[in-house]
Amino acid sequence: MRELSLEDIEALAVGAWVLGTGGGGSPYLGLLNMRQLYGEGHRVQLMDPDALADDDMVAVVSNMGAPLVGQERLTDAANIARAVTLMQEYLGKSFRGIMSVEIGGNNGVQPLMAAALTGKPVVDADAMGRAYPEAQMTSFAVGDLRPWPLTLVDPRGVEGIVAKVPTWKWMERLSRKMCVEVGSTAATCKAPRTGAEVKRWGIPRTTTQAINLGIAIRRAQREHRDPIEAILQNEDGRLLFRGKVADVARRTTEGFLRGTTRLDGLDAWRGSTMEIAFQNEWAVAWQDGTPRVMTPDLICVLDTVSGEAIGTETLRYGQRVTVIALRAPPVFLTPRGLEFVGPRAFGYDLDFRSVFS
């Protein structure tokens, strides 16, 4: 276990935004919360998942909803901490640590906010290795672990519990309806996991991965090197496209941010176009009408100059962007994993083909 410095958290915010593949919410507001909490004297410990005992209980947290709404209702450490304590009250048990359901975007920072207020360590793992929009799109669901219970907290004092559901899809349906009713954003504590489950089905050390990625990006920026090249080297990624945002169409519906963007190619891609569809996160990209990259490969849209990620809610006309792909966690590349997070899980009639194969 080690104490995270504020510099670690600054780097985490940068790295988690890249791993968010356009979703998970901007980590900037979570970072502001952590700066304030550290200024008040709070500190957060990072715990390796292998240090968990098999019967330890771990809280799995995230903000749920449409990223665009997060720009209007600001993230709050008290809400995510309350989702954890509400779950403890419901279970009658105490958690050993807290982890995020997804390392991507602001949800990579959420467990730190809860940990700072509850005094519990953050477990260095998540269940996606990125961000995904739906409850069943996790390594825990691939492992057929129990999907319930769930607690949901709204800043107006609304507190809800989904006590039991027959399937992960039912958990998604019920919790999404609750989320929509409170404004399409809410703090949640997902189904608790044992230490044994985290070690077997969690994606390990993704908090450290995000911190190291953020350090690489920030170092390249300081040294006036290409930060995108630093990302590709750090994560063994692939450069796919460089261009300018020519069009964005998006709408917030059913608790998601859905839409498409069109990029006009620049440099070596001049005369070519790329269209990317998203559901909170980037899902499928077509270059000149041909599928180029698709989930579960991580599709990352980056600012061409700074190398920092651009979210589906912050993309705007005229931005110069670079599209890269990063490797998916192996659990999602299995036939069962693809059932949960492959292109058909998002409604696209495509057989998955990785840019890394």
Task: Please determine, for residue 336, whether its predicted confidence score (pLDDT) is greater than 90.
Answer: yes
- Residue 13 has, within 13 A of its CA and on its CB side, a CA count of 17
- Structure-block tokens of residue 73: 């209702």
Task: Please determine, for residue 68, whether its predicted confidence score (pLDDT) is greater than 80.
Answer: no
Q: What is the mean pLDDT of residues 332-343?
A: 98
CA–CA distance, 86 with 188 (Å, rounded to integer)? 10
Task: Please determine, for residue 278, whether its predicted confidence score (pLDDT) is greater than 80.
Answer: yes
pLDDT at 24: 87
- Structure-block tokens of residue 349: 């009639």
Terminal C-alpha separation, the chain:
36
CA–CA distance, 103 with 190 (Å, rounded to integer)? 14
Mean pLDDT, the chain, whole residue set: 96
CA–CA distance, 236 with 334 (Å, rounded to integer)? 20
pLDDT at 65: 86
R_g over Cα of the chain: 19
Please say whether the dihedral angle defined by the alpha carbons of residues 156, 133, 231 and 226, taken in this order, is positive or negative.
Answer: negative
CA–CA distance, 191 with 6 (Å, rounded to integer)? 29
Task: Please determine, for residue 256, whether its predicted confidence score (pLDDT) is greater than 90.
Answer: no
Model confidence at 321, pLDDT cuts 50, 70, 90, reads: very high
The answer to whether 223 and 245 are in contact (CB under 8 A) is no
Helical (H) or strand (E) element with 233: helix 227-235
Task: Please determine, for residue 71, whether its predicted confidence score (pLDDT) is greater than 80.
Answer: no
CA–CA distance, 16 with 11 (Å, rounded to integer)? 8
CA–CA distance, 315 with 301 (Å, rounded to integer)? 9
Summarised one tens digit per residue, pLDDT across range 140-155 is: 999 999 999 999 999 9
Strands 57-65 and 97-100: parallel
Summarised one tens digit per residue, pLDDT across range 171-201 is: 999 999 999 999 989 999 999 999 999 999 9
